[in-house]
Chains A and B, each alone.
Chain A
C-alpha cells in the first residue's frame, strides 16, 4: 500500500475520491459516512481519469506552505481511512496490477458479472459492508448493469414462489391421487406442499429484507446521486 511519502499517482482511486469529498479531515466519521462520501465524490466526476487528474492537480497546486501542509495532511488522512477500511486494495483483479488506479475501468464490459467477485476480493471481514458499498460505488456512473443484475434475483424468487403455487394447484387438479399419498399421520403430500408453500413464501419475504439492505440500498444511494449529477435537467 502506498505510504504518505510515495508519489500520489500510485494512490488508489478511493483515496483520490475521499480526498476530493466534502468530509473534513479533522473530524471523525463512521465507515458508512466515509464510503458514502467516496460514492458522492466519485459520482460527481466524469470518469476515473479526471478524478485522479483533479486529485493530483490539487495536491501540487497549493499556493502557500501552510496550504501545502494542509493538503499533505488531508492526503495522509485519506490514505489512513482507506487503509483502515481495507478499501485500498480495491479494486484488484486477478492478473492486473493493483497500483494502477484506472486499470479496473478498462474492464467495464464485465462489470455485471464480476460484482460478487469484487466484493469478496476486498480484505477483512470487519469492513465487509463498507467494502460492498464501495464495490457498488465503482460502477461507472450511468452503467445500469450492476443494479439490473441485483434486481434480477428478487424477480426470479417471485417467479419461483408463483410457480410453486401453480404447481400445487395443477397437482391438486390433475393428480389428486398423488397428493393423497400419506407422509406422516394425517399429513399427505398435498398438505406437505401447502406447508412448504407457506414456509417458502415467508422465507422469501424475510430473505428480501436482508437482500435489499445488503445489495439494493447501497446501489440505490449511488445510483440516485449519479443520476442527479448526470441528468440535472430531468429533475426539473
Chain B
C-alpha cells in the first residue's frame, strides 16, 4: 500500500491512541469486576447494560475489519455487484432478530452447545457444536489476523515483510492478554468503544462525501460511474461476472454471507450475554438498525471513493480494494482523519478477535471439556482454568497460522467461516427452536455434515489449488468449480438435519419440545420467573 503522508507521520499517534484504548478499557473492566473467578463473569461479563449499550457491543462484535474496509472497497471496484454482499448482513440480522435472538438467549447459558443440550442429549451435541464453533472461530480469527498484518503494517509505515509478521504477533499477544485478564467484560467495553468510533467515522465520511457532490446522490452515482472506467455498466449487475461459474460462485458467497451472518458463534455468544428477553429484543434491534445503516453508509462511501479517487487508483493501491476507505480518508481529511481511521481499524481487530478468542475458548472449555469430556460434572474452577488455557492455546495457534499464511492468498477464509456457520450452526439452531420433530441425531448429522462438506469442498475448490491465485498455486486437485461451498453445503446441512431426525430410532417423533416451545413462544425461560 502506498499512502502519501502516512510514512512515519501517523505511526506514532496511532500507536499512542491504540495503546490508550487497550489499557483504559482493560483497566476499567478489571477495576469494575468484583467476581473474577466465576464462569458467568468470564463468559458473560456485565449483564446490567442498557439495550443501547448492548446493541452497540453487538454491532462492534459483528463488524469486522473486512466489513469496515472490505465492503466499501468492494463497491468502489465492482459497483452494483458489490451491493448484495454489503446488504446481506442487514437482511441476516433482521432474520436473526425475528426468529432467533430471544428464544436463543433464553435457551442458552454460554455457547451454541448449551442451546442444543437444553433440549437434546447433551454429550453428543456439546461435542459437535463445540468442534464446529472452534473451527469457525479459528478460521475467522486467522482471517482477521492475516488481514490485520496486511492492512496495519503500511498504516504504521512499515513495508518489510517481517514487519507484517511482527504486527500480527504483537496484535495477537495483546488480544490473548486482553481476553485472559478481562474476559467478556473487557471484550464488551472495547466493542462498545469501537462501535462508537465506527458510527462517528461512518457518519462523518458519508456527510463529507455527500457534501462534495452538492448533497445530490444522483450526482454521486453519475460521477462514480464516470470515474470507474465502466461507465453506466458500473451501476448495473454484471461487470464482475465472466461466465456461468462466476455467477454461481457469487450466488454461493452471497448465500453464505446471508445465512452465516445470522449464525456466527461469537455473535450469538454476545447476544446470549443480555439479561432479559425484552432487553435482548431491543439490543438486537439497535444492532440491526446500526448494521443496516452502516450497510447503506458503506455503499455510499464505496461509490464516493470510486467517484473521488477513481477505481483505477484504488485497485492500483490494492487489487482487492481493501484500502479504498483509508485512501478516501486521507484524501478527504488528511492525516487527522487517516489517524482516526487507523485507530478504528486496530480497535476493530482487537474487538472482533477478542470475541472470537473468547468463543473459541468457551467451546473448548465449556462444550468439549465440560459438556462432553466431563459430562457436565466439571467444577466451575476447573472449567475456568481450561477456558484461560484455551484462550492462550487458541490465540497461539491463530498467531502461528496467520504468520504462516501471511504470504499466501487466504481471502477465501472469511467466506469459508461464514459458509460453515450457515451450514453447520444455523440449521441446528433453527430446527432446535422451531421444529417439533428435531432430534439429537439430526443435530449431529447436520453439524458434522455441514462442517465436513464445507471443508472438503473448499479443499477441492479453485481457492485452494489449480490456478495462480490459489492457496497452493503449484498443484491442481480442484474438481469442485466454486470457490465458496455454501451453495452445496448449506442445503446439505438442512437436509442432513431433517434426515437424521426422521431416521432417529432413539427419539422417534422428535425430542421433547414442550418446554422449548414455551421458550420460543414467550422469548423467556420459565425458570427465570
Contacts and interface: CB of A to CB of B under 8 A. Distances in A.
Contact of B91 (A171, A187, A201, A208): A201
B97 interface: yes
Interface residues of B, number: 52
Contact of A235 (B94, B251, B526): B526
A189 B529 CA distance: 51
Contacts of A150: 521
Interface stretch (A63-71, A88-96, A215-223): A215-223
A186 B218 contact: yes
Contact of B523 (A176, A186, A190, A216): A216
A235 B528 CA distance: 9
Contacts of B282: 209
Interface string B498-529: 00000000000000001101101111101101
B90 interface: yes
A158 interface: yes
A99 interface: no
Contact of B97 (A198, A208, A228): A208
A173 interface: yes
A26 interface: no
B254 interface: yes
Interface stretch (B193-201, B232-240, B366-374): B232-240
B80 interface: yes
Given A173-B247, A186-B222, A205-B288, A219 B98 contact: no
B521 A147 contact: yes
A6 to B, nearest CB: 38
Contacts of A197: 87, 91
A219 B521 contact: yes
Contacts of B277: 220
B524 A220 contact: yes
A155 B235 contact: no
A205 B97 contact: yes
Contacts of A209: 281-282, 285
Contacts of A202: 289, 292
Contact of A176 (B221, B238, B434): B238
A188 B236 contact: yes
B237 A179 contact: yes
B278 interface: yes
Given A186-B225, A205-B288, A172 B94 contact: no
Nearest to A236: B527
Residue among A161, A169, A180, A201 with max Cβ neighbours from chain B (10 Å): A201
Interface of A, helix, strand, loop or mixed by DSSP: helix
Contacts of A162: 91, 95, 258
B289 A223 contact: no
B518 A223 contact: yes
Given A165-B87, A227-B518, A190 B236 contact: yes
A83 to B, nearest CB: 31
A190 B236 CA distance: 7
Contact of B517 (A144, A171, A194): A144
Contacts of B529: 228
Interface in A193-213: 194, 197-198, 201-202, 204-206, 208-209, 212
B98 A155 contact: yes
Contacts of A206: 289
A58 interface: no
A223 B521 contact: yes
Interface string A138-179: 000000100110110011011001100100110111001001
A164 B221 CA distance: 24
A199 to B, nearest CB: 10
Contacts of A187: 218, 221
B522 A186 contact: no
Given A187-B221, A198-B295, A161 B522 contact: no
Nearest to B293: A202
B88 interface: yes
Interface string B281-302: 1100100110010011001000
Given A165-B87, A187-B221, 12 more contacts: A165-B258, A173-B251, A186-B225, A188-B235, A194-B299, A198-B90, A205-B288, A208-B97, A234-B514, A234-B515, A234-B526, A235-B527
29 contacts: A158-B95, A161-B94, A162-B258, A165-B84, A165-B88, A173-B237, A179-B80, A179-B236, A185-B218, A186-B232, A194-B83, A197-B87, A197-B91, A198-B90, A198-B292, A202-B292, A204-B94, A208-B97, A208-B281, A209-B285, A216-B523, A217-B278, A219-B522, A220-B277, A220-B522, A224-B526, A228-B526, A234-B526, A236-B527
Interface of B: 80-81, 83-84, 87-88, 90-91, 94-95, 97-99, 218, 221-222, 225, 232, 235-238, 241, 247, 250-251, 254, 258, 277-278, 281-282, 285, 288-289, 292, 295-296, 299, 434, 514-515, 517-518, 520-524, 526-527, 529
Listed from nearest, the 9 A-B pairs whose CB atoms lie closest are A172-B237, A220-B522, A186-B221, A180-B236, A158-B98, A147-B521, A176-B238, A154-B98, A185-B218
Interface of A: 144, 147-148, 150-151, 154-155, 157-158, 161-162, 165, 168-169, 171-173, 176, 179-180, 184-188, 190-191, 194, 197-198, 201-202, 204-206, 208-209, 212, 216-217, 219-220, 223-224, 227-228, 234-236
